[in-house]
């Protein structure tokens, strides 16, 4: 499995900005000193960006990766730099006008690592993921047929079809296959296919152009747009006056397109965002209305048929009128029932004929086949009976017109209720999508950066680098960073964290969050489909598409279910018919209005319609949809049914230490000097050496050193000569003509620095208290030890204790030393510790635990722990922030909250309990219903199930399963977590 790494570094604004009450800041990109460019040149520079991939050897941890990333980003003309420490690679996006590959390579080597350029195509993606909405699927058999058809296409790596969402996700090779061919394959199976997304790595927008009177005008507009930089593809629909554009968001945006369209026609044309009608919610509403309308029309015809068959026959006056003979034995009532039931059978019930034809044409059988067979048997036998009565002076007919019409009506009612309930299972996604505000306040500036104008625009028209004004109470329209102002922002709707987060200049903000008490000006960095909110929606949608392994059981059953039901139905009819002909039961069993053939026919039809595979197919996906939606609302993003199923079996959790069990922000807690020296002077030398290092421990030391020079806002440290970063050990430099070494014990040993017995004792004492000891040598003499602690997260001990009560064993695996690791483990109550483990060793430990029969979850930060996250049965990435798409993890804990480890496991267990209950409902209806429908109780109790009641029971089974899944929306996390929150033990 390939692991994708996202840069966790925030994009910062130019520090030369002026924070005066009246906003004033530069709006141009950062260029080298002395270089000025015009707006045209700037567009050219941005349009000619390039990518380079470097192999970097020598990196051992995230601190190494951070130092490479920071050094590269300091270069002029660098747009982005992402460093993958595990695969020893660095990917850099840059502007060739200012910097080249050789300069970047030299910069990486200056940091202390070997680098070489990898010559390969950077933009080429071997696979794309296409999303399609499929109309007309009714049961698991339908989704299985479509899935098999897609899987058989050359170039398709994997195809998933979800019955509950009526969508398909196809991973395909664009070199071999086009998305149009995928749509054709769906259409060939007999269903309607609507493209949601092609999976191509570009933005797409649909515009409606008013004022166009000819196709030539649309062609001219299209040509004008095609000439714009970044526009890749344009599709024109003259009938709707619709333009669909694919473009690169770095180079262009929707407002530019509208401006070009309106200027092309000298003011005659007006353009706007095309009204969206293809969303999942719109499709669901359309389907609900369709079933509701069909059900109401069926009632118009069915109710009179029901009254004539069941009620009016007991009212003497009306009964006499209905029994009036028209031709031979044909009565008025029979003609009326025939006329009324025919539209229900062939017009309102037309969908079942179409569905049956499509299924049988491809060699499969679905719910429509069962309904069509059952209703046709009742209807055409009734027609035969009526025609025979019309041609015979003695034959008294018994019709089943009420059976066919009432059966179709109840099935339509069931489908209506099912679609209504299924719509509620995707409410989580709809709520997420509703977080994005409809409008945004766009600011425009003069050449000096002063605000000229404020304009309220549609948020869909936002472009990268726009500057937006966010007033108190308003939602943030897109991802970006603050360039002016300060406030607090509520991010609970995205991260689940309830407390407002302070935001000042340079801080990142997430689209969909709410500003509280101050005015902010933010610069847009990610808009539309690139935003964190859009990523979350895509992740949850993808999770709801993915099938849980347990669903394979339902898929296997559905392949044989319908043919088996048809066989059972004919067997039932034949058995009762044969028994009647051979006098196998008393004549008194036969109702007065029937003969043995009609009785057998009713039993056969009842069996056929009560045994429907719909409920079985909905048992798993509806529960997974609701479960993943509930998880997303609580800040726990679960990537599909497979992750859910694995999580509910977890009996062993492997915790990383730094940033997982601990806060991840080291601080200096103690200093021991072995020589007479002023502490200020000591830290001045140490900080001068460490200020050049990107390691978290070095940053902690420098921050502590600043306390001795509080009178200076940005203290300047003595110059460090011959600086050298010794990977994994520490740093070395010459400061004020003295050699200064700062690092661990091995650094001192390698440089022949003698370690005093007192120092050994201090080191041992430091490690026993879960602290890291940093040794300092000045002039080749050990001078002191700095004790650094990474505080334990509040509530970590309670979380481990509760996991133990859930029969889940906890283990610590860390790259830190044994002393610190054991001290931390003891403090949180964990018995098993593996220390001084490299990333690959963590993955090996996970595999050892799995080999011993454990179902293992790995909880880590998603970078150094990625091999273990991939190796584990369930990988939980903690501390994801806005970078939620960490590919290595199965579950993303957005609040960086240890409590959510419990929430993830507890929710998965509740979800799979609900899936088990759904299967009980689905199979229970069939296991109990089929024998009753076949007449098992008729000989003893005289009870038989009329076909229309069997149809109602079949519809009720699907509705019951969906409603059962919806009960998951009432999920409450364990009370102990609320108690921890009340005590103030919330983990930041």
3-state secondary structure 271-295: EEECCCCCCHHHHHHHHHHHHHHHH
Longest dimension (CA), the chain: 128
- CB neighbours of residue 604 within 10 Å: 27
Nearest-CA neighbor of 464 among 258, 252, 260?
252
Per-residue tokens: 546: 């993915």
**Of 530, 546, 578, which residue is a domain's last?**
530
Residues 416 and 309 reside in one and the same domain: yes
Residues 395 and 456 reside in one and the same domain: no
Nearest-CA neighbor of 111 among 73, 68, 82?
68
pLDDT at res. 775? 93
Give the total number of structural domains in the chain: 6
pLDDT at 880 over 60: no
Taken in order 28, 32, 34, 37, the sign of the CA dihedral is negative
730-735 vs 720-726, strand pairing mode? antiparallel
- CB neighbours of residue 972 within 10 Å: 9
Give the tens place of pLDDT for each residue, 737-795: 899 999 888 889 888 888 888 888 888 888 888 788 899 999 889 999 999 888 888 77
- Residue 713 pLDDT grade (very low, low, confident, very high; cuts 50, 70, 90): low
pLDDT at 881 over 80: no
Give the tens place of pLDDT for each residue, 636-667: 888 777 888 888 899 999 988 877 888 777 88
Structural domain span for residue 728:
667-789
pLDDT at 139 over 60: yes
Residues 680 and 732 reside in one and the same domain: yes
Residues 380 and 357 reside in one and the same domain: yes
Domain assignment present for residue 345? The answer is: yes
778 sits in which H/E element: strand 771-778
Average pLDDT, rounded, for the chain: 79
Residues 353 and 284 reside in one and the same domain: yes
49 sits in which H/E element: none
**Of 274, 297, 330, which residue is a domain's last?**
274
Per-residue tokens: 162: 């979800």
739 sits in which H/E element: strand 738-743
Residues 218 and 336 reside in one and the same domain: no
Nearest-CA neighbor of 708 among 683, 690, 691?
683
| Cα 626 from chain centroid (whole Å) | 13
Domain assignment present for residue 44? The answer is: no
Domain assignment present for residue 376? The answer is: yes
- Spatial contact of 185 and 150, defined as CB atoms under 8 Å apart: yes
Domain assignment present for residue 351? The answer is: yes
Higher pLDDT, 280 or 635: 635
Burial class (CB in 10 A: 0-12, 13-18, 19+), 57: exposed
891-893 vs 874-878, strand pairing mode? parallel
**Averaged over 470-497, what is the pLDDT?**
84
**Of 228, 245, 274, which residue is a domain's last?**
274
DSSP 109-161: HHHT-EEEEE-S-SS--S-EEEEEEEE---SHHHHHHHHHHHHTSTTEEEEEE
**Averaged over 482-492, what is the pLDDT?**
87
Q: Which residues pair with 57 in a beta bridge?
A: 114
Nearest-CA neighbor of 290 among 168, 156, 153, 136?
136
pLDDT at res. 60? 65
Residues 710 and 781 reside in one and the same domain: yes
Higher pLDDT, 959 or 119: 959
Exposure pattern of 135-157 as b/e (b: 16+ CB <10 Å)? ebbbbbbbbbbbbebbeebebbe
**Can you give the pTM of this predicted structure?**
0.66
Percentage of residues in the chain having pLDDT higher than 70: 84
Considering only 33-37, 79-83, 470-474, which range has the smallest mean pLDDT? 33-37
**Averaged over 840-863, what is the pLDDT?**
83
Cβ contacts of 852 within 8 Å, gap of 6 or more: none
Residues 250 and 351 reside in one and the same domain: no
Per-residue tokens: 296: 């109401």
811 sits in which H/E element: strand 809-813
SS (H, E, C) 453-464: EEEEEEHHHCCC
Higher pLDDT, 339 or 541: 339
Residues annotated as catalytic are 656
- Spatial contact of 147 and 191, defined as CB atoms under 8 Å apart: no
Q: Which residues pair with 563 in a beta bridge?
A: none
**Intra-chain end-to-end CA distance of the chain, in Å:** 31
Residues 357 and 310 reside in one and the same domain: yes
Rounded CA Rg of the chain:
35
pLDDT at res. 202? 55
Phi, psi angle pair for 273, to nearest 5° = -60, 130
Residues 264 and 288 reside in one and the same domain: no
Domain assignment present for residue 550? The answer is: no
Rounded (10°) angle between helices 332-343 and 401-425: 30
**Averaged over 931-959, what is the pLDDT?**
83
pLDDT at res. 566? 85
Percentage of residues in the chain having pLDDT higher than 90: 11
Nearest-CA neighbor of 867 among 853, 887, 884?
887
**Averaged over 872-884, what is the pLDDT?**
67
Higher pLDDT, 379 or 424: 379
pLDDT at 19 over 50: no
Per-residue tokens: 409: 């009506």
pLDDT at res. 23? 40
Domain assignment present for residue 865? The answer is: no
Cβ contacts of 227 within 8 Å, gap of 6 or more: none
**Averaged over 937-953, what is the pLDDT?**
82
DSSP 848-907: HHHHTT--EEEEE-SSTTHHHHHHSSEEEEE--TT----TT-SEEETT--THHHHHHHHH
Domain assignment present for residue 911? The answer is: no
- Residue 979 pLDDT grade (very low, low, confident, very high; cuts 50, 70, 90): low
Give the tens place of pLDDT for each residue, 144-199: 888 888 988 888 888 888 877 788 888 888 888 888 888 888 888 888 888 777 66
**Averaged over 812-836, what is the pLDDT?**
82
Per-residue tokens: 171: 């991973």
Domain assignment present for residue 562? The answer is: no
Residues 170 and 221 reside in one and the same domain: no
**Averaged over 248-272, what is the pLDDT?**
78
pLDDT at 140 over 90: no
- The CATH number for 187's domain is 3.30.70.100
How far is 747 from 728, CA to CA, in rounded Å? 9
Residues 727 and 778 reside in one and the same domain: yes
């Amino acid at each position: 499995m390939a692991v994708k790494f996202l840069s966790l570094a925030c994009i910062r604004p130019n520090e030369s900005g002026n924070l005066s009450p009246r906003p004033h800041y530069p709006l141009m990109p950062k260029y080298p000193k002395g270089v000025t460019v015009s707006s045209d040149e700037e567009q050219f520079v941005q349009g000619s960006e390039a990518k380079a991939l470097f192999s970097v050897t020598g990196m051992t941890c995230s601190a190494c990766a951070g130092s490479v990333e920071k050094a590269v980003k300091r270069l002029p003309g660098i747009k982005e730099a992402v460093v993958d420490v595990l695969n020893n690679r660095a990917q850099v996006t840059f502007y060739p006008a200012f910097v080249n590959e050789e300069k970047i390579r030299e910069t990486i080597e200056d940091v202390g690592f070997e680098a070489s350029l990898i010559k390969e195509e950077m933009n080429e993606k071997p696979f794309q993921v296409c999303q399609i909405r499929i109309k007309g699927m009714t049961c698991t058999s339908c989704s299985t047929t479509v899935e098999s058809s897609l899987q058989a296409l050359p170039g398709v790596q994997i195809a998933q079809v979800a019955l509950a969402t009526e969508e398909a996700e196809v991973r395909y090779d664009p070199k071999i296959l086009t998305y149009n061919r995928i749509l054709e394959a769906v259409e060939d199976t007999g269903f309607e296919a609507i493209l949601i997304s092609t999976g191509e790595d570009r933005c797409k927008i649909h515009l409606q152009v008013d004022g166009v009177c000819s196709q030539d005008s649309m062609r001219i507009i299209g040509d004008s747009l095609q000439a714009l930089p970044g526009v890749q593809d344009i599709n024109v629909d003259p009938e709707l006056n619709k333009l669909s554009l694919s473009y690169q968001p770095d180079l262009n945006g929707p407002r530019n397109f509208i401006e070009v369209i309106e200027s092309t026609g000298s003011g005659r044309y007006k353009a706007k965002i095309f009204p969206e009608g293809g969303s999942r919610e719109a499709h669901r509403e359309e389907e609900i209305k369709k079933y509701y309308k069909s059900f109401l029309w069926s009632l118009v015809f069915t109710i009179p048929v029901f009254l004539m068959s069941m009620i009016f026959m007991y009212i003497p006056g009306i009964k006499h009128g209905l029994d009036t003979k028209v031709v031979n034995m044909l009565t008025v009532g029979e003609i009326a029932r025939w006329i009324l039931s025919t539209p229900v059978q062939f017009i309102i019930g037309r969908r079942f004929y179409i569905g049956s034809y499509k299924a049988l044409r491809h060699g499969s059988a679905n719910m429509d086949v069962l309904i069509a067979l059952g209703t046709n048997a009742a209807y055409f036998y009734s027609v035969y009976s009526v025609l025979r009565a019309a041609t015979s002076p003695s034959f008294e007919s018994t019709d089943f017109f009420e059976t066919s019409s009432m059966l179709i009506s109840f099935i339509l009612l069931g489908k209506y209720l099912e679609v209504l309930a299924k719509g509620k299972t995707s409410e989580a996604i709809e709520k997420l999508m509703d977080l994005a505000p409809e409008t945004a306040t766009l600011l425009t500036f003069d050449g000096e950066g002063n605000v000229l104008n404020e304009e309220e625009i549609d948020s869909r028209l936002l472009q990268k680098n726009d500057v937006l004004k966010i007033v108190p109470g308003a939602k943030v329209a897109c991802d970006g960073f603050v360039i002016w102002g300060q406030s607090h922002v509520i991010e609970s709707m995205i991260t689940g964290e309830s407390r407002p987060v302070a935001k000042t200049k340079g801080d990142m903000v997430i689209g969909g969050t709410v500003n509280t008490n101050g005015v902010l000006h933010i610069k847009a960095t990610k808009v539309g489909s690139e935003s964190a909110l859009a990523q979350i929606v895509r992740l949850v949608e993808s999770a709801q598409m993915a099938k849980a392994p347990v669903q394979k059981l339902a898929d296997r059953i559905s392949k044989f279910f319908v043919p088996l039901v048809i066989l059972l139905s004919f067997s039932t009819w034949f058995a009762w018919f044969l028994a009647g002909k051979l006098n196998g039961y008393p004549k008194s069993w036969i109702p007065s209005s029937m003969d043995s053939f009609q009785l057998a026919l009713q039993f056969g039809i009842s069996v056929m319609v009560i045994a429907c595979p719909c409920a079985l197919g909905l048992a798993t996906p509806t529960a997974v949809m609701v479960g993943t939606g509930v998880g997303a609302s609580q800040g726990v993003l679960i990537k599909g049914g497979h992750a859910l199923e694995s999580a509910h079996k977890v009996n062993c959790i492997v915790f990383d230490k730094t940033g997982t069990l601990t806060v991840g922000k080291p601080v200096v807690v103690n200093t021991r000097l072995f020589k007479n020296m002023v502490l200020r002077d000591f830290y001045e030398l140490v900080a001068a050496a460490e200020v050049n290092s990107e390691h978290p421990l070095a940053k902690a030391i420098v921050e502590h050193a600043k306390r001795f020079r509080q009178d200076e806002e940005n203290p300047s440290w003595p110059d460090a000569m011959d600086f050298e970063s010794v990977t994994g050990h520490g740093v070395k430099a010459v400061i004020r003509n003295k050699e200064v070494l700062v690092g661990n014990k091995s650094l001192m040993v390698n440089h022949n620095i003698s370690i005093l017995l007192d120092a050994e004792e201090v080191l041992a004492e430091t490690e026993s208290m879960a602290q890291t000891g940093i040794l300092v040598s000045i002039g080749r003499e050990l001078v002191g030890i700095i004790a650094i602690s990474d505080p334990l997260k509040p509530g970590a001990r309670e979380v481990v204790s509760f996991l133990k009560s859930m029969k889940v064993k906890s283990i610590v695996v860390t790259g830190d030393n044994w002393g610190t690791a054991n001290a931390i483990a003891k403090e949180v109550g964990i018995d098993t510790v593996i220390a001084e483990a490299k990333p690959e060793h963590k993955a090996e430990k996970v595999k050892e635990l799995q080999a011993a029969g454990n179902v293992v979850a790995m909880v880590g930060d998603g970078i150094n722990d990625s091999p273990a996250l991939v190796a584990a049965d369930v990988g939980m990435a903690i501390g994801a922030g806005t970078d939620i798409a960490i590919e290595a993890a199965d579950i993303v804990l957005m609040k960086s909250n240890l409590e959510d480890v419990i929430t993830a496991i507890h929710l998965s267990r509740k979800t799979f309990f609900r899936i088990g209950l759904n299967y009980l409902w689905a199979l229970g209806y069939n296991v109990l219903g089929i024998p009753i429908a076949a007449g098992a109780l008729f000989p003893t109790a005289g009870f038989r199930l009329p076909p229309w009641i069997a149809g109602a029971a079949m519809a009720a089974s699907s509705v019951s399963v969906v409603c059962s899944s919806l009960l998951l929306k009432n999920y409450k996390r364990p009370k102990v977590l609320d108690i921890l929150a009340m005590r103030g033990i919330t983990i930041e």
